[in-house]
Chain A
Amino acid sequence: MPVNSTHYLFLSLLLFSIGIMGALIRRNAIIIFMCIELMLNAVNLLLVAFSKIFGDADAQLFVFFIMVVAAAEVAVGLAVIVMMYRKVQSVDINILNRLKH
């Protein structure tokens, strides 16, 4: 079966769905974090695929931006998770509910 552009779109959809489901279902902060990264990269893949389909390189510009933002986000997010672990010896998000009313 030859691989064409449509397959990339489906792959991207699959990855994004896995990301969402992971973010919704899992309680481990690091897993959720990874799921978010997965969603970002699914979008990246989508952009590249469309770029290829329409023969327009503009979309790839966004990809670079997203990569940069993701990198920065990883730096901050991981730091937050590390700090959280130090405080409560856990990365379970359900422990962090003290800010509720």
Chain B
Amino acid sequence: MANYVYLVPLFPLIGFLINGLLWKKMPKTVGGAIGSLAILASFVVSLLIFLEVKAPGYHQDPIVLFDFIKSGDFSIPFAFQVDALSSLFLLIITGVGFLIHVYSTSYMSHDEGMVKYFAFLNLFVFFMLLLVLGANYLIMFIGWEGVGLSSYLLIGFWFKNRDYTNAGKKAFVMNRIGDLGFLVGMLLILYNFHTLSYADFFGKLHEAQTGVSASTFNWIALCLFIGATGKSAQIPLYTWLPDAMAGPTPVSALIHAATMVTAGIYMIARSGALYSLTPAILHVVAVTGLATAIVAATIAIKQYDIKKVLAYSTVSQLGFMFLALGVGAYTTAVFHVMTHAFFKALLFLGSGSVIHAMGGEQDIRKMGGLGKHMRVTQVTFLIGCLAISGVPGLSGFFSKDAILSAAFAHDPILYYLGIVAAMMTAFYMFRLYFLTFNGSFRGTHDQEHHLHESPVAMTMPLIVLAILSVVGGYVGLPEVMSEHNALNAYLSPVVTNLGEHHLSAGLEWTLMGVSVVVSVIMIIVAYVMHRKPVFAENTGLAKILENKWYVDELYNAIIVRPMATLSDLLDKFAERRGIDGMVNGVGKSVKWGGDKLRLLQSGQVGFYIFMMVLGIVALLTLSFFWIR
């Protein structure tokens, strides 16, 4: 089945072409069906491939489709890598992606651009699949750039709103900054190792005779990590992700859960062999991840937009994943990617359902008591909140706990800070939950009248994702609970964790207990604080948090504004004086010369004859002296 892997990205591509070319004529339902079926077909193929990869003794060389770049004896093939890591990502992308597509058929049904929307959605999935499947960094880079493009198209999907198109542009530009890092890293690999394929590159890493210095390894790892910070929204390039919620809500779910932001994690997990050789850069990764987790969590505490809270929670959770990568627990990071995909897609789609019921209102200050009107959304949302907060038994608990204990084994200080971030996670998620679904309604009377449960096409994906959010964690049970960690065993042929740690069982149980107690306390605190919510004007620290630490303002002040000033100066002096001056100068000098020469045209025939004779004499004189 692995030989048919090209079908996986092919179906979304076909879906994109059909919907994209015929979107003006296609009926909405047909467009939605084509888009969803394309992903479903991919999912089925992915599932078959997964089963094959899961079988013991599986081995598959990269599947070469054709030569992509060929020059002399150097060639980069267009090849797909089907192994444990990529097949797992295939399942996440197509599975969660399919649910989001189904959800969208209902969510977007009133939008006139629905078919175009599905075309973009399919394109997004296509590029993400390409990214994951590529057997060398170049193919990954194609997908990498492609998801950037698709996210731009989808974030600015409602392009008539200027703020939304600006958000799209911001996402694109921020991503480009990171992409440059990836590109430089890729070129460094190409220059030093003369290959981009994973197998060759990782093979050469351990050869002593390559003669590549340790600092080169560090530079490559750092450049790739910069690429990951852009795509996976880490400090300092995270500000695009919260703005990316300008797009339709299912798009946010797709970006935050199934595609795009997981790309950075995937890339670093894939390059684990490289990062294991560069402990210094791994340390940078861990610190960046932890800092992002904490900063984003603090911001999420004081946001009032339901999607913004979720967006910052994604940034924070991605920080956790990078923390896991940074301490060398690559499989744990992938585990958290998976569980996070389930519950974050669930939460975003749930928030979409809420927004749908509220008629487009996103401010949680105007919600409250929605649980009465939309039971399914409430219950599934609660499951998502419990999962992300790390309540025992749900998927988020296992993955987050695995990350925290790996961090503890690496360096306890990372663990303590991680616990702080986890605490805040529980608090802001349940603040969101209680403000939205508990208490009494705070919106207008019209809105209250309009409240309703969403149609089946929207609630069905919620239910499926809720189930997955509950059971998803059982593939990666910690050592103290089970002898067999299915996920680690599955990924072991591809990804090897750095320095397997072994904490004593007692310590591990203690760590688990601490994080559970902390989460539960924070949930209770959130309940008590938001039972009777009053929304006073924020002051002091709260105001800073509400304004996201003023990071956007800071970036504006130190980067955007100086750039604009510099551009203005260049425009004024280099462009208008320099280049325009040169071009206009040519025209002006010709005009001036013509003005002066025109005076010779006196109309006096005698004068003409005189000039002619003079000319002849001059020429004769010249020829007499010079030619002879």
Contact residues of A with B, CB < 8 Å?
A: 20, 23-25, 27, 32, 93-94, 96-101
Contact = CB atoms under 8 A, between A and B. Distances in A.
Contact of B606 (A20, A27, A100): A27
Nearest to A29: B605
Contacts of B613: 20, 23-24
Nearest to A27: B606
What is the interface residue range for chain B against chain A?
10 to 19
Interface of B: 598-599, 601-606, 609-610, 613
Contacts of A25: 606
B596 to A, nearest CB: 12
A97 B602 contact: yes
A27 B607 CA distance: 11
20 contacts: A23-B609, A23-B613, A24-B609, A24-B610, A24-B613, A25-B606, A27-B606, A32-B609, A94-B604, A94-B605, A94-B606, A96-B603, A97-B602, A97-B603, A97-B605, A98-B603, A100-B601, A100-B603, A100-B604, A101-B599
A100 B602 CA distance: 5
Nearest to B605: A93
A27 B604 CA distance: 10
Contacts of B599: 101
A93 B605 CA distance: 6
A81 B610 CA distance: 20
Contacts of A97: 602-605
A97 B601 CA distance: 10
A98 B605 CA distance: 11
A23 B601 CA distance: 19
Give the 7 A-B residue pairs with the shortest CB-CB distance, closest first.
Answer: A100-B603, A97-B603, A93-B605, A101-B598, A101-B601, A100-B601, A100-B602
A43 to B, nearest CB: 13
Nearest to A23: B609
A27 B609 CA distance: 11
Contacts of A24: 606, 609-610, 613
Interface centre among A32, A99, A100 (most CB of B within 10 A): A100
Contacts of B603: 96-100
Contacts of A101: 598-599, 601
Nearest to A100: B603
A27 to B, nearest CB: 7
